[in-house]
Protein backbone atom coordinates (compact mmCIF):
# COMPACT_ATOMS: atom_id res chain seq x y z
CA UNK A 1 0.00 0.00 0.00
CA UNK A 2 1.35 3.44 -0.79
CA UNK A 3 0.24 7.03 -0.86
CA UNK A 4 -0.21 7.82 -4.51
CA UNK A 5 0.98 10.82 -6.46
CA UNK A 6 -2.05 10.73 -8.70
CA UNK A 7 -5.08 10.32 -6.50
CA UNK A 8 -7.60 7.79 -7.76
CA UNK A 9 -9.03 9.48 -10.86
CA UNK A 10 -12.45 7.98 -10.10
CA UNK A 11 -12.99 8.25 -6.31
CA UNK A 12 -10.13 10.61 -5.36
CA UNK A 13 -8.78 8.20 -2.72
CA UNK A 14 -5.09 8.63 -1.80
CA UNK A 15 -3.92 5.08 -1.16
CA UNK A 16 -3.39 2.12 -3.40
CA UNK A 17 -1.60 -1.16 -3.98
CA UNK A 18 1.45 -1.19 -6.24
CA UNK A 19 2.06 -4.08 -8.67
CA UNK A 20 4.72 -3.02 -11.09
CA UNK A 21 6.94 -0.08 -11.94
CA UNK A 22 6.94 0.81 -15.61
CA UNK A 23 10.15 2.33 -16.92
CA UNK A 24 10.75 3.70 -20.37
CA UNK A 25 13.16 5.87 -22.34
CA UNK A 26 11.02 8.38 -24.17
CA UNK A 27 11.98 10.27 -27.32
CA UNK A 28 13.67 13.47 -26.18
CA UNK A 29 10.87 15.77 -27.33
CA UNK A 30 8.27 13.89 -25.27
CA UNK A 31 7.74 15.73 -22.01
CA UNK A 32 6.00 13.02 -20.03
CA UNK A 33 7.30 11.17 -16.96
CA UNK A 34 9.35 8.12 -17.94
CA UNK A 35 8.40 6.04 -14.94
CA UNK A 36 5.24 5.20 -13.01
CA UNK A 37 3.66 2.51 -10.87
CA UNK A 38 0.72 0.41 -11.96
CA UNK A 39 -1.66 0.52 -8.98
CA UNK A 40 -5.20 -0.22 -7.90
CA UNK A 41 -7.15 2.13 -5.67
CA UNK A 42 -7.61 0.81 -2.14
CA UNK A 43 -11.13 2.19 -2.03
CA UNK A 44 -12.76 1.52 -5.41
CA UNK A 45 -10.29 -0.96 -6.91
CA UNK A 46 -9.71 1.02 -10.11
CA UNK A 47 -6.46 0.03 -11.88
CA UNK A 48 -4.42 2.93 -13.22
CA UNK A 49 -1.01 4.49 -13.73
CA UNK A 50 0.20 6.50 -10.74
CA UNK A 51 1.92 8.99 -12.98
CA UNK A 52 3.28 12.33 -11.83
CA UNK A 53 1.78 14.67 -14.40
CA UNK A 54 -1.18 16.97 -15.07
CA UNK A 55 -3.87 17.00 -17.72
CA UNK A 56 -2.07 19.92 -19.38
CA UNK A 57 1.06 17.79 -19.80
CA UNK A 58 -0.97 15.29 -21.81
CA UNK A 59 -2.84 17.94 -23.79
CA UNK A 60 0.49 19.37 -24.93
CA UNK A 61 1.84 15.92 -25.69
CA UNK A 62 -1.15 14.93 -27.87
CA UNK A 63 -1.16 18.28 -29.66
CA UNK A 64 2.47 17.69 -30.72
CA UNK A 65 2.57 13.91 -31.13
CA UNK A 66 -0.46 13.15 -33.14
CA UNK A 67 0.13 9.51 -34.00
CA UNK A 68 -3.57 9.10 -34.66
CA UNK A 69 -3.71 11.59 -37.49
CA UNK A 70 -4.46 10.84 -41.09
CA UNK A 71 -0.83 10.35 -42.06
CA UNK A 72 0.18 8.24 -39.14
CA UNK A 73 0.80 4.58 -39.75
CA UNK A 74 -2.18 3.29 -37.86
CA UNK A 75 -3.61 1.31 -40.70
CA UNK A 76 -3.89 -2.05 -39.04
CA UNK A 77 -6.58 -4.45 -39.98
CA UNK A 78 -7.89 -4.62 -36.45
CA UNK A 79 -8.51 -0.85 -36.34
CA UNK A 80 -10.82 -1.33 -39.30
CA UNK A 81 -12.57 -4.29 -37.72
CA UNK A 82 -13.21 -2.27 -34.58
CA UNK A 83 -14.58 0.67 -36.61
CA UNK A 84 -16.97 -1.71 -38.40
CA UNK A 85 -18.20 -3.03 -35.07
CA UNK A 86 -18.86 0.50 -33.83
CA UNK A 87 -20.80 1.29 -36.95
CA UNK A 88 -22.97 -1.78 -36.38
CA UNK A 89 -23.48 -0.80 -32.76
CA UNK A 90 -24.91 2.55 -33.90
CA UNK A 91 -27.03 1.07 -36.62
CA UNK A 92 -28.67 -1.31 -34.17
CA UNK A 93 -29.11 1.06 -31.27
CA UNK A 94 -29.40 4.67 -32.43
CA UNK A 95 -32.04 6.58 -34.38
CA UNK A 96 -30.89 8.06 -37.71
CA UNK A 97 -32.26 11.43 -36.58
CA UNK A 98 -29.97 11.68 -33.58
CA UNK A 99 -27.63 14.65 -33.42
CA UNK A 100 -24.21 13.06 -32.89
CA UNK A 101 -20.90 14.54 -31.75
CA UNK A 102 -17.71 12.52 -32.13
CA UNK A 103 -15.25 14.02 -29.64
CA UNK A 104 -11.71 13.18 -30.76
CA UNK A 105 -12.98 12.11 -34.15
CA UNK A 106 -9.51 11.71 -35.68
CA UNK A 107 -9.73 11.56 -39.44
CA UNK A 108 -13.38 10.60 -39.25
CA UNK A 109 -13.27 6.78 -39.30
CA UNK A 110 -16.54 6.51 -37.39
CA UNK A 111 -18.25 9.65 -38.76
CA UNK A 112 -17.77 8.70 -42.41
CA UNK A 113 -19.14 5.22 -41.76
CA UNK A 114 -22.17 6.68 -39.98
CA UNK A 115 -22.74 9.14 -42.80
CA UNK A 116 -22.80 6.29 -45.28
CA UNK A 117 -25.42 4.55 -43.14
CA UNK A 118 -27.73 7.54 -43.33
CA UNK A 119 -26.98 9.38 -40.10
CA UNK A 120 -26.89 13.02 -41.15
CA UNK A 121 -26.66 15.20 -38.05
CA UNK A 122 -22.99 14.59 -37.50
CA UNK A 123 -20.34 16.78 -35.91
CA UNK A 124 -16.68 16.18 -35.07
CA UNK A 125 -14.11 17.80 -32.79
CA UNK A 126 -10.42 16.92 -32.91
CA UNK A 127 -7.16 18.58 -31.81
CA UNK A 128 -5.40 17.80 -35.10
CA UNK A 129 -5.62 20.24 -38.00
CA UNK A 130 -4.63 17.51 -40.49
CA UNK A 131 -7.43 15.28 -39.23
CA UNK A 132 -9.99 18.05 -39.50
CA UNK A 133 -9.10 18.70 -43.11
CA UNK A 134 -9.65 15.04 -43.92
CA UNK A 135 -13.08 15.04 -42.24
CA UNK A 136 -14.09 18.24 -44.06
CA UNK A 137 -13.52 16.53 -47.39
CA UNK A 138 -16.39 14.20 -46.47
CA UNK A 139 -18.66 17.23 -45.96
CA UNK A 140 -19.07 16.62 -42.25
CA UNK A 141 -19.13 19.54 -39.78
CA UNK A 142 -15.95 19.53 -37.78
CA UNK A 143 -13.94 21.91 -35.67
CA UNK A 144 -10.61 21.98 -33.96
CA UNK A 145 -10.58 21.48 -30.20
CA UNK A 146 -9.96 19.34 -27.19
CA UNK A 147 -12.44 17.84 -24.72
CA UNK A 148 -11.09 20.15 -21.99
CA UNK A 149 -11.61 23.36 -23.98
CA UNK A 150 -14.45 25.67 -23.04
CA UNK A 151 -17.58 24.39 -24.76
CA UNK A 152 -18.54 26.65 -27.69
CA UNK A 153 -21.80 28.39 -26.72
CA UNK A 154 -23.76 27.07 -29.69
CA UNK A 155 -22.82 23.48 -28.77
CA UNK A 156 -23.78 23.56 -25.08
CA UNK A 157 -26.37 20.83 -24.31
CA UNK A 158 -27.13 20.39 -27.98
CA UNK A 159 -26.30 16.75 -28.84
CA UNK A 160 -28.35 13.59 -28.39
CA UNK A 161 -25.22 11.50 -28.43
CA UNK A 162 -21.58 12.21 -27.69
CA UNK A 163 -19.08 9.57 -28.82
CA UNK A 164 -15.81 9.24 -27.01
CA UNK A 165 -14.12 6.15 -28.35
CA UNK A 166 -10.62 4.95 -27.51
CA UNK A 167 -9.80 8.15 -25.63
CA UNK A 168 -10.70 7.65 -21.98
CA UNK A 169 -7.73 5.32 -21.38
CA UNK A 170 -5.50 8.32 -22.20
CA UNK A 171 -7.15 10.91 -19.94
CA UNK A 172 -5.46 12.09 -16.74
CA UNK A 173 -8.43 13.91 -15.17
CA UNK A 174 -11.33 11.54 -15.68
CA UNK A 175 -13.92 13.37 -13.60
CA UNK A 176 -13.35 16.72 -15.27
CA UNK A 177 -13.48 14.99 -18.64
CA UNK A 178 -16.90 13.43 -18.01
CA UNK A 179 -18.26 16.77 -16.77
CA UNK A 180 -17.09 18.36 -20.01
CA UNK A 181 -18.72 15.67 -22.15
CA UNK A 182 -21.97 16.05 -20.24
CA UNK A 183 -21.93 19.74 -21.10
CA UNK A 184 -22.51 18.87 -24.76
CA UNK A 185 -25.48 16.60 -24.08
CA UNK A 186 -29.20 17.29 -24.11
CA UNK A 187 -31.22 16.08 -21.12
CA UNK A 188 -31.62 12.33 -21.44
CA UNK A 189 -28.73 12.28 -23.91
CA UNK A 190 -26.36 9.38 -24.35
CA UNK A 191 -22.59 9.03 -24.14
CA UNK A 192 -21.05 6.30 -26.23
CA UNK A 193 -17.78 5.15 -24.68
CA UNK A 194 -15.35 2.57 -25.82
CA UNK A 195 -12.23 1.61 -23.89
CA UNK A 196 -9.85 -1.36 -23.84
CA UNK A 197 -10.84 -3.77 -21.11
CA UNK A 198 -8.46 -4.57 -18.26
CA UNK A 199 -9.76 -8.12 -18.49
CA UNK A 200 -7.57 -8.63 -21.51
CA UNK A 201 -4.51 -8.42 -19.25
CA UNK A 202 -3.22 -11.91 -18.69
CA UNK A 203 -5.57 -13.61 -21.14
CA UNK A 204 -2.46 -14.36 -23.12
CA UNK A 205 1.09 -13.06 -22.91
CA UNK A 206 1.89 -9.78 -24.54
CA UNK A 207 4.64 -7.36 -23.59
CA UNK A 208 3.46 -5.11 -20.78
CA UNK A 209 4.07 -2.11 -23.06
CA UNK A 210 0.95 -3.11 -24.98
CA UNK A 211 -1.26 -2.33 -21.99
CA UNK A 212 0.73 0.05 -19.81
CA UNK A 213 2.71 2.70 -21.63
CA UNK A 214 3.13 6.46 -21.66
CA UNK A 215 -0.25 6.91 -23.36
CA UNK A 216 -2.46 4.28 -21.71
CA UNK A 217 -2.85 5.37 -18.10
CA UNK A 218 -6.31 4.03 -17.12
CA UNK A 219 -7.20 0.32 -17.08
CA UNK A 220 -10.98 0.02 -16.98
CA UNK A 221 -13.24 -2.88 -16.19
CA UNK A 222 -16.96 -2.44 -16.71
CA UNK A 223 -17.29 -1.98 -12.92
CA UNK A 224 -14.86 0.95 -12.84
CA UNK A 225 -16.37 2.55 -15.90
CA UNK A 226 -19.80 2.37 -14.24
CA UNK A 227 -18.37 3.86 -11.04
CA UNK A 228 -16.99 6.78 -12.98
CA UNK A 229 -20.15 7.42 -14.96
CA UNK A 230 -22.66 6.97 -12.12
CA UNK A 231 -20.93 9.64 -10.07
CA UNK A 232 -21.73 12.10 -12.82
CA UNK A 233 -25.40 11.21 -13.09
CA UNK A 234 -25.15 8.62 -15.85
CA UNK A 235 -26.87 5.25 -15.92
CA UNK A 236 -25.97 2.24 -18.01
CA UNK A 237 -28.16 2.18 -21.09
CA UNK A 238 -26.39 -0.61 -22.91
CA UNK A 239 -23.08 -2.34 -22.31
CA UNK A 240 -21.25 -4.84 -24.43
CA UNK A 241 -17.83 -6.24 -23.70
CA UNK A 242 -16.54 -7.06 -27.12
CA UNK A 243 -13.71 -9.25 -28.27
CA UNK A 244 -12.04 -8.79 -31.60
CA UNK A 245 -9.74 -11.01 -33.57
CA UNK A 246 -7.62 -9.47 -36.27
CA UNK A 247 -6.23 -11.19 -39.33
CA UNK A 248 -3.73 -13.09 -37.28
CA UNK A 249 -6.11 -13.86 -34.46
CA UNK A 250 -3.48 -15.13 -32.08
CA UNK A 251 -1.55 -11.88 -32.10
CA UNK A 252 -4.29 -9.39 -32.71
CA UNK A 253 -6.82 -10.18 -30.07
CA UNK A 254 -8.37 -7.12 -28.46
CA UNK A 255 -11.04 -6.74 -25.86
CA UNK A 256 -13.07 -3.57 -25.62
CA UNK A 257 -15.90 -2.36 -23.47
CA UNK A 258 -18.37 -0.48 -25.65
CA UNK A 259 -21.29 1.10 -23.91
CA UNK A 260 -23.97 3.73 -23.89
CA UNK A 261 -24.64 5.72 -20.75
CA UNK A 262 -27.72 7.89 -20.35
CA UNK A 263 -27.67 11.16 -18.48
CA UNK A 264 -30.32 10.91 -15.78
CA UNK A 265 -29.21 13.80 -13.57
CA UNK A 266 -26.97 14.23 -10.59
CA UNK A 267 -29.74 14.06 -7.98
CA UNK A 268 -29.38 10.29 -7.86
CA UNK A 269 -26.09 9.61 -6.05
CA UNK A 270 -24.95 6.05 -6.37
CA UNK A 271 -22.62 4.00 -4.23
CA UNK A 272 -19.20 2.98 -5.50
CA UNK A 273 -19.03 -0.72 -6.20
CA UNK A 274 -15.57 -2.19 -5.63
CA UNK A 275 -13.76 -3.33 -8.76
CA UNK A 276 -11.98 -6.66 -8.17
CA UNK A 277 -11.42 -7.33 -11.86
CA UNK A 278 -8.49 -4.93 -12.31
CA UNK A 279 -6.46 -6.45 -9.50
CA UNK A 280 -7.14 -10.01 -10.59
CA UNK A 281 -6.26 -9.28 -14.22
CA UNK A 282 -3.01 -7.54 -13.29
CA UNK A 283 -1.96 -10.39 -11.01
CA UNK A 284 -2.71 -12.94 -13.73
CA UNK A 285 -0.69 -10.88 -16.14
CA UNK A 286 2.34 -10.61 -13.84
CA UNK A 287 2.33 -14.37 -13.40
CA UNK A 288 2.58 -14.81 -17.17
CA UNK A 289 5.10 -12.02 -17.51
CA UNK A 290 7.67 -13.58 -15.17
CA UNK A 291 8.85 -16.22 -17.59
CA UNK A 292 8.12 -14.49 -20.88
CA UNK A 293 9.84 -11.22 -20.13
CA UNK A 294 13.02 -12.91 -18.93
CA UNK A 295 13.08 -15.01 -22.11
CA UNK A 296 12.88 -11.93 -24.31
CA UNK A 297 15.52 -10.02 -22.35
CA UNK A 298 17.88 -13.01 -22.48
CA UNK A 299 17.34 -13.29 -26.20
CA UNK A 300 18.39 -9.66 -26.66
CA UNK A 301 21.40 -9.94 -24.36
CA UNK A 302 22.54 -13.12 -26.06
CA UNK A 303 22.16 -11.50 -29.48
CA UNK A 304 24.18 -8.40 -28.64
CA UNK A 305 26.86 -10.32 -26.70
CA UNK A 306 27.61 -12.64 -29.56
CA UNK A 307 28.20 -9.71 -31.88
CA UNK A 308 30.77 -7.03 -31.35
CA UNK A 309 29.18 -4.48 -33.64
CA UNK A 310 26.47 -1.86 -33.47
CA UNK A 311 22.88 -2.92 -34.03
CA UNK A 312 19.82 -1.36 -35.62
CA UNK A 313 16.46 -1.39 -33.86
CA UNK A 314 13.42 -1.36 -36.10
CA UNK A 315 10.34 -0.09 -34.26
CA UNK A 316 10.12 2.78 -31.78
CA UNK A 317 6.84 2.06 -30.04
CA UNK A 318 6.29 1.59 -26.33
CA UNK A 319 7.76 -1.92 -26.48
CA UNK A 320 11.12 -0.57 -27.63
CA UNK A 321 11.01 2.31 -25.16
CA UNK A 322 10.53 -0.08 -22.25
CA UNK A 323 13.14 -2.60 -23.42
CA UNK A 324 15.79 0.11 -23.68
CA UNK A 325 15.00 1.29 -20.15
CA UNK A 326 15.22 -2.26 -18.78
CA UNK A 327 18.40 -3.34 -20.59
CA UNK A 328 20.92 -0.54 -19.98
CA UNK A 329 23.67 -2.28 -22.01
CA UNK A 330 21.58 -1.97 -25.13
CA UNK A 331 21.62 1.80 -25.61
CA UNK A 332 25.33 2.18 -26.36
CA UNK A 333 25.14 -0.57 -28.97
CA UNK A 334 22.45 1.10 -31.04
CA UNK A 335 23.51 2.56 -34.39
CA UNK A 336 20.10 4.07 -35.10
CA UNK A 337 16.39 3.34 -34.88
CA UNK A 338 14.17 2.72 -37.89
CA UNK A 339 10.50 3.59 -38.04
CA UNK A 340 7.99 3.74 -40.89
CA UNK A 341 6.02 6.56 -39.32
CA UNK A 342 7.20 9.79 -41.02
CA UNK A 343 6.22 11.81 -37.94
CA UNK A 344 8.93 10.08 -35.92
CA UNK A 345 11.82 10.54 -38.33
CA UNK A 346 14.58 12.83 -37.05
CA UNK A 347 13.63 12.46 -33.38
CA UNK A 348 16.05 10.90 -30.92
CA UNK A 349 15.80 8.23 -28.24
CA UNK A 350 18.75 7.76 -25.83
CA UNK A 351 20.61 10.16 -28.13
CA UNK A 352 20.23 7.88 -31.18
CA UNK A 353 18.36 9.06 -34.22
CA UNK A 354 15.16 7.61 -35.69
CA UNK A 355 15.62 7.24 -39.45
CA UNK A 356 13.67 5.88 -42.41
CA UNK A 357 14.22 2.29 -43.54
CA UNK A 358 16.07 3.44 -46.67
CA UNK A 359 18.99 4.34 -44.39
CA UNK A 360 19.69 0.65 -43.83
CA UNK A 361 20.58 0.38 -47.53
CA UNK A 362 22.69 3.53 -47.42
CA UNK A 363 24.68 3.21 -44.22
CA UNK A 364 23.52 0.16 -42.31
CA UNK A 365 24.07 -2.81 -44.60
CA UNK A 366 26.41 -4.77 -42.36
CA UNK A 367 24.63 -4.27 -39.04
CA UNK A 368 22.32 -6.78 -37.41
CA UNK A 369 18.72 -5.70 -36.87
CA UNK A 370 16.40 -6.26 -33.92
CA UNK A 371 12.76 -6.05 -34.93
CA UNK A 372 10.84 -4.78 -31.97
CA UNK A 373 7.14 -4.19 -32.49
CA UNK A 374 4.21 -5.80 -30.72
CA UNK A 375 1.83 -5.84 -33.63
CA UNK A 376 3.80 -4.80 -36.68
CA UNK A 377 6.70 -7.30 -36.55
CA UNK A 378 5.39 -9.40 -39.42
CA UNK A 379 4.95 -6.35 -41.64
CA UNK A 380 8.47 -5.20 -40.87
CA UNK A 381 9.84 -8.61 -41.80
CA UNK A 382 7.91 -8.42 -45.05
CA UNK A 383 9.37 -4.99 -45.77
CA UNK A 384 12.89 -6.30 -45.18
CA UNK A 385 12.34 -8.93 -47.84
CA UNK A 386 10.67 -6.55 -50.27
CA UNK A 387 13.54 -4.10 -49.93
CA UNK A 388 16.06 -6.91 -50.42
CA UNK A 389 17.72 -6.08 -47.14
CA UNK A 390 19.92 -9.02 -46.31
CA UNK A 391 21.08 -7.99 -42.86
CA UNK A 392 20.94 -10.57 -40.14
CA UNK A 393 17.93 -9.99 -37.89
CA UNK A 394 15.90 -11.29 -35.00
CA UNK A 395 12.25 -10.69 -34.18
CA UNK A 396 11.33 -10.17 -30.55
ZN1 LIG B 1 -10.74 4.86 -6.32
Residue ranges, CATH 3.40.50.150, the chain: 64-281
Which residues contact residue 209 at a Cβ distance below 8 angstroms, ignoring those fewer than 6 apart? 24, 317, 318, 319, 321, 322, 374
- Where helices occur in 313-370 by DSSP H, the ranges are 318-326, 328-331, 358-363
If you measure from the C-alpha of residue 210 to the centroid of ligand 1, how many angstroms do you get, rounded to a whole number? 23
If you measure from the C-alpha of residue 224 to the centroid of ligand 1, how many angstroms do you get, rounded to a whole number? 9
If you measure from the C-alpha of residue 43 to the centroid of ligand 1, how many angstroms do you get, rounded to a whole number? 5
277 CB burial (10 A radius; 0-12, 13-18, 19+): buried
If you measure from the C-alpha of residue 102 to the centroid of ligand 1, how many angstroms do you get, rounded to a whole number? 28
Number of C-beta neighbours around residue 388 at 10 A? 7
Pick the closest to residue 51 from 27, 29, 21, 11 (CA basis): 21
If you measure from the C-alpha of residue 54 to the centroid of ligand 1, how many angstroms do you get, rounded to a whole number? 18
* CATH dotted code for 307-395: 3.40.50.720
Q: What is the pLDDT of residue 215?
A: 93
Q: What is the pLDDT of residue 79?
A: 61
If you measure from the C-alpha of residue 185 to the centroid of ligand 1, how many angstroms do you get, rounded to a whole number? 26
Residues lining ion ligand 1 (Cβ < 5 A) are 8, 10-11, 13, 41, 43-44, 46
If you measure from the C-alpha of residue 49 to the centroid of ligand 1, how many angstroms do you get, rounded to a whole number? 12
Do the Cβ atoms of 374 and 316 come closer than 8 Å? no
Residue ranges, CATH 3.40.50.720, the chain: 307-395
22 CB burial (10 A radius; 0-12, 13-18, 19+): buried
If you measure from the C-alpha of residue 39 to the centroid of ligand 1, how many angstroms do you get, rounded to a whole number? 10
If you measure from the C-alpha of residue 232 to the centroid of ligand 1, how many angstroms do you get, rounded to a whole number? 15
SS3 98: coil
If you measure from the C-alpha of residue 272 to the centroid of ligand 1, how many angstroms do you get, rounded to a whole number? 9
Q: Which fold has domain 64-281?
A: Rossmann fold (3.40.50)
Instruction: Judge if pTM exceeds 0.95.
Output: no
Do the Cβ atoms of 242 and 166 come closer than 8 Å? no
Cα–Cα distance measured from residue 34 to residue 26, given in angstroms and rounded to the nearest whole number: 6
Round to the nearest angstrom and report the end-to-end CA distance of the chain: 34
If you measure from the C-alpha of residue 217 to the centroid of ligand 1, how many angstroms do you get, rounded to a whole number? 14
Q: What is the pLDDT of residue 259?
A: 87
Q: What is the pLDDT of residue 249?
A: 46
Instruction: Give CA separation, 253 vs 93, 173, 245, 248, in Å.
Output: 25, 28, 5, 8
Angle at which helices 222-231 and 277-305 cross, to 10°: 120
If you measure from the C-alpha of residue 228 to the centroid of ligand 1, how many angstroms do you get, rounded to a whole number? 9
Q: What is the pLDDT of residue 139?
A: 94
| Helix (H) or strand (E) run with residue 87 in it | helix 77-93
Which residues contact residue 146 at a Cβ distance below 8 angstroms, ignoring those fewer than 6 apart? 59, 62, 63, 125, 127
Do the Cβ atoms of 67 and 341 come closer than 8 Å? yes
Q: What is the pLDDT of residue 380?
A: 92
Cα–Cα distance measured from residue 261 to residue 226, given in angstroms and rounded to the nearest whole number: 9
Cα–Cα distance measured from residue 101 to residue 125, given in angstroms and rounded to the nearest whole number: 8
Cα–Cα distance measured from residue 160 to residue 191, given in angstroms and rounded to the nearest whole number: 8
pLDDT tens sequence for the chain (396 residues): 999 999 999 999 999 999 999 999 999 989 999 999 999 999 999 999 999 999 999 988 887 776 554 444 444 555 666 677 778 878 888 889 999 999 989 888 889 999 999 999 999 999 888 889 999 999 999 999 989 999 999 999 999 999 998 889 999 999 999 999 999 999 889 999 989 999 989 888 889 999 999 999 999 999 999 999 999 999 998 876 666 555 444 455 567 888 899 999 887 667 899 999 999 999 999 999 988 999 999 999 999 999 889 999 999 999 999 999 999 999 999 999 999 888 889 999 999 999 999 999 889 889 999 999 988 899 899 999 999 999 999 999
Number of C-beta neighbours around residue 223 at 10 A? 19
If you measure from the C-alpha of residue 330 to the centroid of ligand 1, how many angstroms do you get, rounded to a whole number? 38
Amino acid sequence: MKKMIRRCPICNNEYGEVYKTIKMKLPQDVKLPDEYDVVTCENCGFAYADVDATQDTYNTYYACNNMYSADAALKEKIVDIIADERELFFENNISKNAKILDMGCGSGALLTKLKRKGFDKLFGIDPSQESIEVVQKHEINVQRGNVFDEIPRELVHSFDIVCFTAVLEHVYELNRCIEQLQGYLTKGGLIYLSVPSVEEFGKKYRPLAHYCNHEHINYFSSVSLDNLMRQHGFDVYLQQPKEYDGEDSKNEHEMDISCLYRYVGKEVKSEIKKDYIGRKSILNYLELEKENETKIYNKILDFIMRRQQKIIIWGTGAYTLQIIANIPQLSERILFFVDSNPLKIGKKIVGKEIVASSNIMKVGREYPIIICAIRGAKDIEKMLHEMNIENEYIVL
